Structure 1
Amino acid sequence: MKELQIKAKNLGTKITNGVKAFWNDESGMGTVEVILIIVVLIGLVIVFKKQISGIVEDIFKTIRAETREITN
């Protein structure tokens, strides 16, 4: 019985050390940060879709008008 308790305690220590190592591992933080930035940018595009579309349309109208002036 004592041997089983020792094995359980050793297993608990291994699990605890593994969880601590996983918690302190920051190697994937770059990926998480990039994903969060992309999510924020997509949200901004959704919120300001009409304004962005209007600006892009105005830019293309100006480009078309100036192109016509050059070709004429």
Structure 2
Amino acid sequence: MLTLAWAKTKAFWKQEDGLGMLEMILIIAVIIIIALLFRKELLRIVERLLNKVDKKSDEVFD
């Protein structure tokens, strides 16, 4: 009985099935939907980061 459980555990561990195409498409769709819902916030964050980078680069190069 123990050897059967051990064999099934080994078989499960060696199983290398990848993600299917449908799962990949669904994941990408969810990421796109989230990005569209929060686009204003994302743009605001990116603009703040770029402004900080611009100020720091001006300090370094002056």
> So what's the TM-score if we normalise by structure 1?
0.59
Residue 40 of structure 2: aligned partner? 50
Corresponding letter in the other structure for 1:55: I
| Identity over aligned pairs, percent | 31
Larger radius of gyration: 1
The structure carrying a bigger helix percent of its residues is 1
> So what's the TM-score if we normalise by structure 2?
0.68
Number of equivalenced pairs: 45
- Structure 2: give runs of 5+ residues left out of the alignment: 1-16
- Equivalences for residues 8-19 of structure 1 within 5 A: none
Q: CA RMSD in A?
A: 1.4
- Structure 1: give runs of 5+ residues left out of the alignment: 1-26
SS in 2 for 1:37: helix
